[in-house]
Amino acid sequence: MTKQLSIVSIAGARPNFMKIGPLAKALAHYPSVEHRLVHTGQHYDQNMSDLFFRDLGLPKPWRNLEVGSGNHATQTAEIMTRFDRVMEEAPADLVVVVGDVNSTIACALVAAKRGIPVAHVEAGLRSYDRSMPEEINRLLTDAISDVLLVSEPSGVDNLRREGVPDDRVHLVGNVMIDTLLSSREKARTSMIHATLGIAHGAYGVVTLHRPSNVDDPAVMRELVGVLGEIARSLPLVFPVHPRTSARLKSQGVELRREAGFLVTDPLGYLDFLALMEGARIILTDSGGIQEEACILEVPCLTLRENTERPVTVSSGWNDLVGRDPEKIRGAAKRALSGQTSAKSRPALWDGRAGERIAEILVRRYGS
């Protein structure tokens, strides 16, 4: 009889949910695998979490640790304490973590200390900017993971440079793109355009939530200023992250419809996908949206000085414009006038990354 392989996977914050879905689906094809999903509760609002479970048809979490918000130390420590208790009660043979959020490092650390192997999905990405909390999470998670599942070639190079043996590193493609490709048809039935009163191809989409862009009032005001200039000729739909919403409110900044801004609460996955697909341009500081834009073939301006996802730039769809208003203005003008460079789709972003990962994990850890 084949031994059961007990796998616990971790999802905590919004960008994790679309990465767990394809893996859960692929693992369900292996009768020898018992898969339990743990939600840490890092994100807990209806529209930062519940909507994603509904839209993506994710399995109901086996446990929700309900940690909620807090500063980095508190949040990370609280996740560790609660996840450790869970692993004490009901251990696993393998813990799978995804991405780079506080839930990722917290659960990887608990597993590693307990001698449970850790698999990291989206390993190897580096912005080389340690002022980003996510960069610290990425470095530390990779350092204690046993198997590193990488979405783009730069990740393989980075891990090799850091001395990770080749037999632990697998280039598998991008699980988030699995979700995008399998959700695209369904997203086309979204009513978001009618709800917002906008037509396909007649607007841009903005998201901003990085501390480096929204926590410093001067930086935030400058960005809002240049976005306002663009919004005068092209309405900008702006689903506002809770962090950004709090900062805008405390600074008394209002983004008005008459000024070209269509502000919404954070949207569910399908509505947001539909919005991106119909956009002429996307302006963002998100990691994942840079990747999604490449597949949706919408020009993306990344409002950051660096990216841990350089393949999005070499694919021709992403322009790293930073925070300089002059650069943002110029790049927006070029993108909107259709001045384009050669474009390509990153290798292995084909909708099958989840299957590849499941196959590798079962081969390595199943018996």
What residues are labeled active site? 209
Q: Which of 59, 91, 117, 133 binds ligand UD1 (CB under 6 A)?
A: 133
| CA-based radius of gyration for the chain | 20
Q: Which of 9, 40, 102, 154 binds ligand UD1 (CB under 6 A)?
A: 102
101 binds ligand UD1 (CB under 6 A): yes
Piece of 94-102, 176-184, 298-306, 335-343 that binds ligand UD1 (CB under 6 A) = 94-102
The whole-angstrom separation of Cα 67 and Cα 38 is: 12
Give me the least distance between CB of 288 and ligand UD1, in Å please. 8
The whole-angstrom separation of Cα 187 and Cα 192 is: 10
- Would you give the binding string for ligand UD1 spanning residues 244-283, x where CB under 6 A is met? ----------------------------------------
Give me the least distance between CB of 3 and ligand UD1, in Å please. 34
- Would you give the binding string for ligand UD1 spanning residues 2-41, x where CB under 6 A is met? -----------xxx--------------------------
- The residue type of 162 is E
The crossing angle, in degrees rounded to 10, of helices 353-365 and 14-27 is 60
Q: Which of 6, 30, 34, 44 binds ligand UD1 (CB under 6 A)?
A: 44
Give me the least distance between CB of 28 and ligand UD1, in Å please. 26
61 binds ligand UD1 (CB under 6 A): no
The whole-angstrom separation of Cα 343 and Cα 65 is: 43
At CB < 8 A and 24+ separation, what contacts does 218-225 make?
Answer: 219/323, 220/247, 220/248, 220/251, 220/253, 221/251, 221/253, 222/323, 222/325, 223/303, 223/323, 224/248, 224/253, 224/255, 225/325
Give me the least distance between CB of 215 and ligand UD1, in Å please. 10
How many residues bind ligand UD1 (CB under 6 A)? The answer is 18
- Would you give the binding string for ligand UD1 spanning residues 180-219, x where CB under 6 A is met? -----------------------------x----------
Q: Which of 117, 217, 228, 242 binds ligand UD1 (CB under 6 A)?
A: 242
The whole-angstrom separation of Cα 13 and Cα 44 is: 8
Which residues of this protein are in contact with ligand UD1, per CB under 6 A?
Answer: 13-15, 42-45, 48, 69, 100-102, 133-134, 209, 241-243
